[in-house]
């Protein structure tokens, strides 16, 4: 087989095709062969040359999604026309209205049933993700829009409660009461991020993750990893 002269282009094409199929069919119901068929000019061997399996493709999409979010925080941190509180609201607003981001969150959430994955995610939410929000919380403390006396703790609560307790709730029906509870708790410690409009947007976005799947009857995830 001739050497691929443009491996990064091929990787991007694979990721784009996989993201499209994961969105349309769901991660569980997309096989490597489906991705091959979507691309039309690559073999399974070519896919496996770039990614060891379907789960690795999802991991890369998740990483890219994380990088987009990190870039947004950096961008907002530099702005002087918004308060710290407004910056956090903008991060939430964009996250819960971004269909690509929500699709990836829905695909990833199924792996939280694995104890090792859950432990890794909880650690990430209360460290790396919380630190990202802490930057904007401190912006708000400095400009007076946020009055919390516990900025570090507030950042951890914000990240853990939203990313796990609300976004990964058992059912879509749990989302609104949990979201309102979180909004009340955060406001009580001086981090009043969620007004009614943002609560509604967040509930709607997270319900898309928690709602019963509109995809066909799921296959076994473990067997899918080997496809």
Euclidean distance between CA atoms 126 and 183, whole angstroms: 18
Position 37 scores a pLDDT of 94
Measure CA of the first residue to CA of the last residue in the chain; give whole Å.
23
Tens digit of each residue's pLDDT (9 = 90 or more) over 174-200 = 999 999 999 999 999 999 999 999 999
> Cβ-count burial of 49 within 10 angstroms (0-12 exposed, 13-18 middle, 19+ buried)?
middle
Euclidean distance between CA atoms 76 and 12, whole angstroms: 27
Q: Which region, left, alpha or beta, applies to residue 40 given φ > 0 means left and ψ of -120 to 50 means alpha?
A: left
Tens digit of each residue's pLDDT (9 = 90 or more) over 112-126 = 888 888 898 899 999
Q: 110 and 27 in contact (C-beta within 8 Å)?
A: yes
**Low-confidence winner among 61-75, 191-205, 213-227 (lowest mean pLDDT):** 213-227
**Residue 73, CA distances (Å) to 45, 84, 90, 176, 222 in order:** 38, 11, 9, 26, 35
Position 169 scores a pLDDT of 80
Tens digit of each residue's pLDDT (9 = 90 or more) over 136-164 = 999 999 999 999 999 999 999 999 999 99
The two tokens of residue 83 are 């308060």
Euclidean distance between CA atoms 227 and 224, whole angstroms: 5
Q: 17 and 46 in contact (C-beta within 8 Å)?
A: no
Residue 75 CA to its chain's centroid (Å)? 18
The pTM score is 0.80
């Amino acid at each position: 087989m001739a050497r691929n002269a443009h491996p990064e282009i091929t990787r991007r094409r694979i990721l784009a095709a996989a993201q499209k199929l994961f969105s349309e069919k769901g991660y569980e119901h997309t096989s490597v062969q489906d991705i091959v068929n979507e691309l039309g000019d690559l073999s399974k061997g070519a896919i496996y040359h770039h990614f060891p399996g379907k789960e690795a493709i999802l991991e890369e999409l998740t990483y890219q999604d994380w990088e987009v979010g990190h870039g947004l925080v950096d961008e907002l941190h530099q702005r002087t026309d918004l308060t710290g509180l407004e910056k956090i609201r903008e991060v939430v607003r964009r996250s819960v209205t971004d269909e690509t981001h929500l699709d990836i969150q829905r695909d990833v959430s199924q792996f939280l049933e694995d104890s090792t994955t859950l432990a890794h995610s909880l650690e990430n939410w209360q460290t790396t993700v919380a630190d990202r929000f802490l930057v904007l919380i401190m912006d708000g403390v400095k400009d007076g829009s946020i009055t919390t006396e516990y900025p570090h703790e507030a950042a951890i609560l914000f990240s853990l409660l939203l990313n796990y307790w609300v976004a990964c709730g058992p059912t879509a029906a749990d989302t609104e009461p949990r979201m309102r509870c979180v909004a009340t708790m955060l406001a009580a410690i001086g981090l009043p991020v969620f007004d009614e409009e943002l609560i509604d947007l967040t509930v709607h976005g997270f319900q898309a993750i928690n709602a019963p799947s509109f995809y066909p009857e799921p296959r076994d995830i473990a067997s899918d990893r080997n496809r």
